[in-house]
Every structure is written in structure tokens, then in C-alpha cells.
Amino acid sequence: MAIEREIGIFTLNFDLLLEEALVHEAPGGAAFIRTSDVPRADKGDVEVHHLHGAISPEEEDLGSFVLTLSDFTSLGQEPAPWQRSAIQDYLQRGPLVLVGTTYRDSDVRQWLHDLKKPDGNDVFILLSRAALGVSRSEFQIVQDALAEQWRAIGVSVLVTHDHADAAQVLREVQYLSGHPAESYAVPQERARRFFSQHSENFDEIQREYSAQLAIDLERLRQLMGPGVNLTLWLADGVGSLVRWVSHDRIFTRSDDLLTIDAGWDSDWIAGEAAASDELIVRVVDEPGRHRWRSVVAAPLSVDVPDGPPFTAAVLSSATPRDLEALAPADLDEWRTVVQSIAAEWEARLAEKAQGPSPWDELE
């Protein structure tokens, strides 16, 4: 996702990978490295604050480092460290979102404990299941204890499951900064509303969506042969993904729809795509389970009212052909065509979310 330039970034990393990514995502602007209490960056540049110092590949002098126990001890004894002042400065302008920080960072805990929070701004931490590498059931056991540590120093906890949730949180924060709170709904609520909208018109939408998928599939058959398929999955707002419709079948009952877990550790490639914000191409390593050998799954970012776009659906295409048997050019074309069809579905689903049916051309 592109980083808005009014956002400041704080990191404990010594490398400059964030700066490289920002230059790529925000052409025309620069990533301004801060390792001490120095003058502010030029307007339009993104400030990256290296709280423990930074290492430049050009071996430039970027200030001192916080590496050893004595370094941490000295930093903790400073009455007014520049790091806390910089964080406090940004907190005056908006909320502070912590991503990837653990409670073991003693200096970070101290800085957060001493912060003065203006009205309307707060400090949040994303407590991610993916970062812990545990199952959903294991996460249920430990999440309350982990969350309570942060609450004890005045940090609000946002429980998430996947790394992509961090990017979505930033989108939500930016949306809230420009819209009244009463016109906002959290992504889960927007997904439930979107899914209910489809369920209420089940029979009609089944026919419409299946007919459109059949039209779209002809573009893939020219490339991949007659065995390829096309399926649309919808997020239900409670952490699952529902196989809503395919090109070759129309379901008559909602009870017949397959429901799978969505997440980084999902057993289904479509479930992984829903949580990754990235298109996934993979060989299905389960011979004998079914006839599909290769799958492309593309998350669909849908603009549903009362919030920024979010992943509300997934478009997947499967073939009995092995990826290793495909020429590289054919594989790239498969990916490209699926991405193109996915973009068209994003527009259709957004129109569906906004109001009347966008399927008049099929009648």
C-alpha cells in the first residue's frame, strides 16, 4: 500500500529497507532518516525514525547505536530522550499505531508509559496471531494475557490475525481522520453487511454471478485449455471465506456453500489470499485429493460504504495442469488475465455494495 506522507514511521531496525520501500511507493518524495533530535524533514518527505540507530550501506555516520545492555541502561536513564519527544510530537497530530513491537522492549515501554495523550488521539498496538505463529485455538489462550500487559501502560490493543491487517488498520485510521465517526463501520461489520446483502438475494445473485464467471472463463480457456475453472469467494465478516459461486454451477441453498478459514495458515489457497493482500500462485501439493494441480487466487479489494476499501472477496482459478509443465510466458499470462478479471470484479462488487444491481448487461 502507498504510505501517505503525513505519516511518520518509527522503527527499531538498523537497516534502511523501509527507506528503499518508501522511495518506491512514494515517487517524487524522499525517505528522511532520523537517528537523533535533528531538524524536521522537508515538506513531502517521509520521516523514518530509527529509535536505536541506523546503518548506511555507504558507511555514512548516522549517529550512535543502542546495542548492548549498557546502551539500553543509559538510554533508560535519560530524562528526556529524543525518541520520546519525537513520538510525543507525532501523537499531537494523530494516533500512534504499534506494529511488530514486543513487550520485551524496555525502553519502548518506558517511552509509551510517559506519553501525554491529547484528546482524540491514542496509542494502539496490533497484537497479531501471525507474528506469534500460533493456531486460532492457541491464540485464544494467550491473547488476553498479552493484551493486559499493554493495557497496563495505557496502550489500547487491536487483536488481528494476519500481517496484512496492519496495512488495513492504517487505511482505517486515515479514513477516520477525514470522516465523522458516526459514518464509520469497522471492516468486520462492513463485510457482514456486504455478505448479508448477497444472502438476501441468494437465487438472483447466484444466477447473475455464475453467468458472468462463465463469460470471464472464456478468456482463460483460450490460454489454459478446457480444464480451467473460475470461482468467487466472499468474506462473511466472522473470519471465514465462503465459496459463493463458480462458473459451472448454481447453488440452490446457502447450506450447500463451502466455508473455510481465512488466514495466513488457512488450508486453502483462497483463504491465504484473503489474508495476504497479494495474488498467490501455487501448486496444490495434495495428489489424490482432487484433480486440481495449480491455483491462482487474487484478493478483491471492495469499496463498501462507511469505510475504506478492504478485502471482501477472492477470485480463484484452478487447473489440472502442473505449474512446472507450463511455459513461463503462459504462467505469466495466466496470472495477468486473472488479475485483469479480478479488477473487473472489484468494480462490479463495489457497485453492488453501493446500490442497484450492476448486472443489467446480462439480462
The rounded radius of gyration (Å) of the Cα atoms in the chain is 24
Q: Sorting pLDDT into bands at 50, 70 and 90, what band is 359?
A: very low
Q: Sorting pLDDT into bands at 50, 70 and 90, what band is 357?
A: very low
60 CB burial (10 A radius; 0-12, 13-18, 19+): exposed
pTM of the model: 0.78
For position 58, what pLDDT does the model report?
66
Q: Sorting pLDDT into bands at 50, 70 and 90, what band is 167?
A: confident
Q: Sorting pLDDT into bands at 50, 70 and 90, what band is 233?
A: very high
Q: 291 to each of 147, 187, 245, how far by Cα in Å? A: 44, 35, 19
Which DSSP helix (H) or strand (E) runs through 240? Answer: strand 240-246
pLDDT at 28 > cutoff 60: no
Tally of residues, the chain = 363
| pLDDT > 90 in the chain, percent | 31
Q: Sorting pLDDT into bands at 50, 70 and 90, what band is 23?
A: confident
β-strand 310-319 against 231-235: which pairing, if any? antiparallel
Pick from 316, 238, 231: nearest CA to 270: 316
| pLDDT > 70 in the chain, percent | 87
- Residue 251: helix, strand or coil by DSSP? coil
Cell match 483463504: residue?
Answer: 271
| pLDDT tens, residue by residue, 266-325 | 889 999 999 888 999 988 766 555 678 889 999 999 999 999 999 999 999 998 888 777
| pLDDT tens, residue by residue, 39-93 | 566 666 778 888 888 887 665 655 678 877 788 888 878 888 888 888 888 888 7
Nearest 5°: CA angle at 62, between 59 and 67? 95
Q: Which residues, in sequence order, are CB contacts of 61 under 8 Å at separation 6+?
A: none
pLDDT at 140 > cutoff 90: no
- β-bridge partners, 91: none
251 CB burial (10 A radius; 0-12, 13-18, 19+): middle
